[in-house]
Amino acid sequence: MKLRVLMLAAVVGLAPSPAFASGLAFSGVDLGTDLAMRLVSSAENSSLDWHAQYGYLEDIGDGRGYTGGIIGFCSGTGDMLAVVESYTAAVPGNALARFLPALRAVDGTSSHAGLGSPFAAAWASSAGDPAFQAAQDAFRDTVYFTPAVTQARADGLRALGQFIYFDAMVMHGPGSDASSFGGIRRAALAHAVPPSRGGDEAAYLRAFLDARVAVMRTEEAHSDTSRVDTAQRAFLDAGNLDLRPPLAWKVYGDPFSVT
């Protein structure tokens, strides 16, 4: 599960492995942020227009309080707090600043105490502020996107593998416990060898997706595994390891495409 933001700076298992340093060099196409966000948004918001999601906010019933913004920052896991703190440092007195004490109080819980509809209204009204958008973008890149791509490259994975890592980090957090990204990767490594160590890329990614699905099925709010089964596995089964358009996939039964 997602870790509280105070623990994110000490993520375990995201540095390139010693085996990579002396093994095969990365060779392939890197993942672009825009494509990655379109794919994530199809699952998180049922839309490819990820730029329209800065003001998104709801409680999806996963025990993490409010979920909001472009990758689902959560009030119960500390990343929503970190985004608002960053925004407030850039724009003191913004509409969300007055909710900082409440966000600190509910961190680690599913509570809405001190937040509720006034907070939801302030979040929505802030969505068009470039400084608020920049705070969300920066946190996404620093805590989720860049670590995911860095680790994927270290494991010898091309664009599809980089996205598979990124999407897992977004949902499960970059931690080291069994239900976080680090634990999922550890479970995959127990069953398959990554390309950086001479293994087959497709076989390793299948092992990673199997491990992730097993974790998703332990959480009621994430028990629908279609973002893996009819999206990521579809690209993998097609042999599209560079994640090159045109792409066609489904999430929760809804069709999407990028041409």
Residues marked active site are found at 44, 62
The helix-helix angle for 130-139 and 79-90 (nearest 10°) equals 140
Give the span between the Cα atoms of 106 and 108, in whole angstroms: 6
- Is the bond preceding 118 in cis, omega lying within 30 degrees of 0? no
What DSSP character marks residue 17?
A: P
Q: Rounded CA gap, 90 and 92, in Å?
A: 6
CB-based contact 96:81 (threshold 8 Å)? no
What CA–CA distances, in Å, run from 21 to 46, 84, 179? 39, 38, 27
Amino acid at 93: G
HEC profile of 26-59: CCCCCCCHHHHHHHHHHHHCCCCCHHHHCCCEEC
8 Å CB contact between 47 and 37: no
- Tell me, rounded to whole angstroms, the distance of Cα 243 from its chain centroid: 17
Are the beta carbons of 156 and 24 closer than 8 angstroms? yes
By CB atoms closer than 10 A (0-12, 13-18, 19+), residue 150 is: middle
Place of tokens 């860095």: 150
Q: What angle do CA 20, 159, 13 make, to 5 degrees?
A: 40
